[in-house]
Structure 1
């Protein structure tokens, strides 16, 4: 049987200092992280877009939201 007794880690008193330390750690790791070259997105013909279906309830929900429907 697995022991599921989990103890929470203590919360540091000075979280701002820990955030600064985390940012410093990340800055030191940046040279080790490789990101692929960004490619420009090419337009896709509407005839190639298929198989997308949206339930009517989701469409009504989005239509009722001011950011999307208006």
Structure 2
């Protein structure tokens, strides 16, 4: 027979936990920087190979309005 031990849930101290988390984040923020934004160009359709689209999906996309993108 398995003897399962049931532990009472930890007391909820949202303010203390949130303050602690915010402090941890503030201390770690200088160590984590966002990468430089790299401008990418669209891939020309001639380089896209092996993509198949079901006919129903193609018809649905064809029927969608073009927003000038």
TM-score by length of structure 1 reads 0.48
Looking at secondary structure, tell me which structure has more helix per residue.
1
